[in-house]
A and B are shown apart, each in its own frame.
Chain A
Amino acid sequence: MIQGTNTGRAAMKLNERSLAFYATCDAPVDNAGFLHKRGGRGAGSHRRWFVLRGNMLFYFESEASREPLGVILLEGCTVELVDAREEFAFAVRFAGGRSRSYVLAADSQAALEGWVKALSRASFHYLRLVVRELEQQLAAMREGSPANTLSANPNPISNPRPKENGRAVWSALPEQPTAAPKRPPLPPRRRASAPNRPLASFAQLHEHYGREVRALRSQWRGGQAGLAGLEVWHRSSSGGTHTQDQP
């Protein structure tokens, strides 16, 4: 992976030592296993040990390596099945011209599905989306509860961050739900997906999350301390043209 830029400037600095420690620390990983990775520019394929942590996909020469060979930041990526010379192949792709795609191949169908699922849900944006949803549900429940004597309102929609005082407030709630807790309004959302859904639906799920991310972002972007003129660049795959239907 070439790191130089056109401008002739030095490559961007990254706290690589900390990254390496994060990659190899004791905490449970989000996924791990061997994958075949194609080298850049049509070079051969190498079997690497991959570790997914948060929104970062690390790869090592071997399972015992103490330092990663490299890392793929997954923010804004789409994950797709590909028709490749390798079996059980999938690609991690990014928006924008000249972005590289990573073509990876698992050792089995089960491993392939596990990786596609894990990588599709790895982004920080996705995690934040789910957290906001739960914050809203919790706030709605508190408002509907007759035993609610608390005055503080966490107001989660305009505040993207979980608040310290919000947490203390919730931990004071009674353990048991009250006699007739009001059902929180369900978001206008998909039904729960069955565990063994056909693989082609992952792209649909991703498309769906992408739409929600965009909707939520425009919702809270008004309250953000962002710089003027910045545009949302994230996009999910538009339409099903990239995916393959599972037979």
Chain B
Amino acid sequence: MRYNEKELQALSRQPAEMAAELGMRGPKKGSVAKRRLVKLVVNFLFYFRPDEAEPLGALLLERCRVAQEEPGGFSISFVEDLSRKYHFECCSQEQCQEWMEALRRASYEYMRQSLIFYRNEIRKMTGKDPLEQFGISEEARFQLNSLPRDEQTCTGSQLGVLD
């Protein structure tokens, strides 16, 4: 699949939501954990060799599942094949927890659900649509029916984190 690598590389140089050196192991059987600089920028997780400026790779964090593995370790896998896991080793369970929470909220889809939730809350409280002032109340991407069907009935206590 072709993609605009230059823009992706530029994105990897942007300020990160989270950045740390972690142990990382790919999904292939028998792969060895290596030290990687891992950076979360918008809905991408970039990983670098610790001394290099260009990323080795990136994971788009849509439709992913983030799970605790051993203490201090978590994994990222994707809905189409949850057994294929990228493993990460943190220096503490606290760091591990912080990363897992950040990664679960990193997707565009999660952010969209937040928007729809807040929009609804404000509408309930005030009777007015807060998106009207931006002129985007009709924007298709912000409508309730832009969510996958099973998340349209979610209450406010769950923002559809895939689990």
Contacts and interface: CB of A to CB of B under 8 A. Distances in A.
B10 A233 contact: yes
Interface stretch (A12-20, A78-86, A104-112): A12-20
A77 B6 CA distance: 12
Interface residues of A, number: 88
A186 interface: yes
A189 interface: yes
B33 interface: no
Given A68-B1, A137-B122, A30 B14 contact: no
B15 A221 contact: yes
Nearest to A220: B15
Contacts of A100: 4, 6
A61 B136 CA distance: 31
Interface string A101-129: 00000000000000000100100110110
Interface in B112-148: 112, 114-115, 117-119, 121-122, 124-127, 130-136, 138-141, 145-148
A64 interface: no
Given A19-B1, A181-B125, A232-B14, A14 B134 contact: no
B23 interface: no
> Which range holds the interface residue count of chain B?
35 or more
Contacts of B51: none
Nearest to A145: B125
Interface of B is mostly: mixed
A232 B11 CA distance: 10
Contacts of B112: 54, 127
Nearest to A16: B1
B127 A186 contact: no
A131 B121 contact: no
Contacts of B156: 167-168, 170-171
B8 A121 contact: no
B2 interface: yes
Contacts of A239: none
